[in-house]
């Protein structure tokens, strides 16, 4: 039971730090898009921003999943 609590707490803390990092990157990427596409309140720039961030998130998630599976096999 104690091990399970520690594992769940570890996952929760990791997720919290991931959220903080994601919010920081969100601001950074948004600033970059403002520089190249103008104000992000325009619907097209918001759509491009959302699509690019989604693609990046999917690619990184797949990469991390593969790395995790590879590490488990070692």
Report d(CA 23, CA 13) in Å as an integer.
15
The structure's pTM equals: 0.54
Q: Do the beta carbons of residue 45 and residue 39 sit within 8 Å? A: yes
Q: How confident is the model at residue 47 (pLDDT cuts 50, 70, 90)?
A: confident
Range of the domain at 51: 2-73
Query: What does each C-alpha distance from 7 to 27, 28, 35, 41, 72 come to in angstroms?
Result: 31, 31, 42, 41, 17
The answer to whether the beta carbons of residues 30 and 36 sit under 8 Å apart is no
Domain count across the chain: 1
**Residues 65 and 73: beta-carbon distance below 8 Å:** no
pLDDT tens for residues 12-45?
Answer: 888 888 888 888 888 887 788 778 877 656 777 7
């Amino acid at each position: 039971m104690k091990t399970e609590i520690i594992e769940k707490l570890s996952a929760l803390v990791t997720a919290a730090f991931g959220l903080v990092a994601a919010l920081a990157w969100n601001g950074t990427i948004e600033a970059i898009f403002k520089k190249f596409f103008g104000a992000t309140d325009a619907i097209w720039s918001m759509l491009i921003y959302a699509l690019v961030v989604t693609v990046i998130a999917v690619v990184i998630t797949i990469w991390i999943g593969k790395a995790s599976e590879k590490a488990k096999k070692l």
